[in-house]
Amino acid sequence: MGARDLSCFAVRFGIDPAPLETVAAKYPVRISPYYLSLIREPGDPIWRQCVPDPRELVDDQLPDPLDEERLSPVPGLIHRYPDRVVWLVSGECAVYCRFCMRKRRLGQAFPSTDDDRAAPLDYIASHPEIRDVILSGGDPLMLADGELDDLLGRLRAIPHVEILRIGSRVPVVLPERITPNLCNLLRKHHPLYLNTHFNHPVEVTPEAAGACARLADAGIPLGNQTVLLRGVNDDPATMTLLMQRLLAIRVRPYYLHQMDLVRGTGHFRTSMACGVRIMAALRGHTSGMANPYYVIDLPGGKGKVPVLPESVRREGGSYFVTTYTGEVVEYLDTTEGC
């Protein structure tokens, strides 16, 4: 479903399409037929993640709080940590998540020709300290099989690149894309890892489980990065069930992300105390494998930091967080939610 289908969608659920269309004019909408079929009623966990909300237009946070543009030595490549880079290889997603960390780029075309991709490949090849390349976007699995195979092959040809990773929500929102042909293609480029993005137990359907099984059977280790979202998964029972269901389909919980300070997403943000309570409810009450790292991706490109007693202290309304470099960064918390 795209923006032009919003009116029919709104009629189906008995709501006024005008507010949705106003938001979609600034932040585009796209929902795969499969993911749309998971919506049961307005405001349910799937609805909140993919249907436009007027609150997106009143949030005054930063468009690029993680400073990705500043950390891009060449277009499309983000070099934040010494030994790894993120390469934005696609501008397409099967679903435009309303909480997207790159919300500023929704619907924008990404470089896609050989000439466009020459600069990132040359940069990676000329920096021998880069051993780990993460393909992101958009969604890398929205590329055609041949295009994806070519990209992975070019990266594999760089001697110092040891690990390839793909960040994709396709197994969650477009599981039919995970075909045997795609899995055979990915199998050629080991060691290759894939992190996907389940946020709620109802997303762990038989279709999604089948997609993850095909990837796991191809020898691809699967991890999951969940975002803590107000009104979606901000309670211990929901999060515990999600993590348990992920392990049952061979997906290891990896990160629980504190919501980034991205413009247009403030209505999803919880307090950090909410995340701490959820983590406390997980520890000891379910398998240790079901406990992700609870992390903040600090503004200004300072990197991800786990919320642990030794790395975070609170003073008033602020947290002071110690980064992996030893720098202490002030992080202003919200008091709302959970």
CA–chain centroid gap for 75, Å, is: 20
Per annotation, catalytic residue among 102, 103, 165, 169: 102
Contact status, residue 207 vs residue 176, Cβ threshold 8 Å: yes
- Would residue 217 show up in a list of annotated catalytic residues for this protein? no
CA–chain centroid gap for 277, Å, is: 22
- Would residue 154 show up in a list of annotated catalytic residues for this protein? no
Contact status, residue 19 vs residue 47, Cβ threshold 8 Å: no
Per annotation, catalytic residue among 294, 297, 302, 338: 297
Q: Max Cα separation, the chain?
A: 57
**Sign of the CA dihedral with 237 first, then 203, 254, and 104 last:** negative
Q: Could you tell me which residues come within 8 angstroms of residue 34 by beta carbon, excluding any fewer than 6 positions away?
A: 173, 174, 175, 176, 207
- Would residue 102 show up in a list of annotated catalytic residues for this protein? yes
Q: Could you tell me which residues come within 8 angstroms of residue 72 by beta carbon, excluding any fewer than 6 positions away?
A: 78, 79
**Sign of the CA dihedral with 35 first, then 37, 38, and 42 last:** positive
Per annotation, catalytic residue among 104, 156, 277, 304: 304
Picking from 275, 265, 292, 285, the residue whose alpha carbon sits closest to that of residue 233 is 275
**∠ at Cα 265 (20, 79), nearest 5°?**
125
Alpha helix stretches (DSSP H) within 271-325: 272-282
- Would residue 93 show up in a list of annotated catalytic residues for this protein? yes
Per annotation, catalytic residue among 97, 212, 274, 338: 97
- Would residue 50 show up in a list of annotated catalytic residues for this protein? no
- Would residue 97 show up in a list of annotated catalytic residues for this protein? yes
Per annotation, catalytic residue among 48, 80, 165, 245: 80
Contact status, residue 140 vs residue 89, Cβ threshold 8 Å: yes
Per annotation, catalytic residue among 139, 260, 274, 294: 260
Q: Give residue 329's identity as a one-letter amino acid code.
A: V
Per annotation, catalytic residue among 27, 35, 93, 269: 93
Rounded to an integer, what distance in angstroms lies between the CA atom of residue 267 and that of residue 240? Answer: 23
Query: Which residue, chain included where needed, has tokens 């990915």?
Result: 186
Per annotation, catalytic residue among 5, 44, 67, 81: 81
- Would residue 84 show up in a list of annotated catalytic residues for this protein? yes
- Would residue 263 show up in a list of annotated catalytic residues for this protein? no
Per annotation, catalytic residue among 27, 64, 100, 123: 100
Quick check: helix, strand or coil at residue 311?
coil
Partners of 318 in beta bridges: 315, 332
- Which residues form the catalytic set? 80-81, 84, 93, 97, 100, 102, 260, 297, 304
